Copies of this chain bind each other. A is one copy, B any other.
């Protein structure tokens, strides 16, 4: 997969990336969709942890950091004691919500009884 360093191979830079797959990668984390969904309203860290049942602090943090890197969410730190951090959607994140809604409609109609375990 263009990972070789043989001479004559296509340089990695030239491999064309599919924007659809790139988009999929942005939301590919196990909890990211739920997180984005709840971030339609600004939320604090602990609030998110309550809203996403079963997630640990460590994992929630890593998912949030990745979403932040991909510029889906903003992270606002209030310098006070006790600490307070607020997360919200960026413009890109907001524009993604309609897609989530369409995925939800499709899912209710078609992905109800899926067999593949994942």
The yes or no answer to A41 lying at the interface (CB within 8 A) is no
Q: Is the interface of A mostly helix, strand, loop or mixed?
A: helix
| A109 neighbours in B (Cβ, 8 Å) | 92, 95
Per the bound structure, the CA–CA distance linking A24 and B34 in Å amounts to 11
Bound together, the chains give a CA A24 to CA B108 distance in angstroms of 12
| Contact B28 A28, beta carbon cutoff 8 Å | yes
User: How many residues in A have their beta carbons less than 8 Å from beta carbons of B?
Assistant: 41
Decide yes or no: A20 and B1 within 8 Å by CB, A69-B115, A99-B103 being known contacts.
no
A116 to B39 CA separation, bound complex (whole angstroms): 20
Q: Which of A21, A96, A112, A114 has the most CB atoms of chain B within a 10 A radius of its CB?
A: A21
A45 interface hit (Cβ, 8 Å): no
Q: Does A85 contact B (CB under 8 A)?
A: no
Give A residues with C-beta under 8 Å from B.
Answer: 1-2, 18-28, 33-34, 37, 54, 66, 69-71, 92, 95-96, 98-100, 102-104, 106-112, 114-116, 118
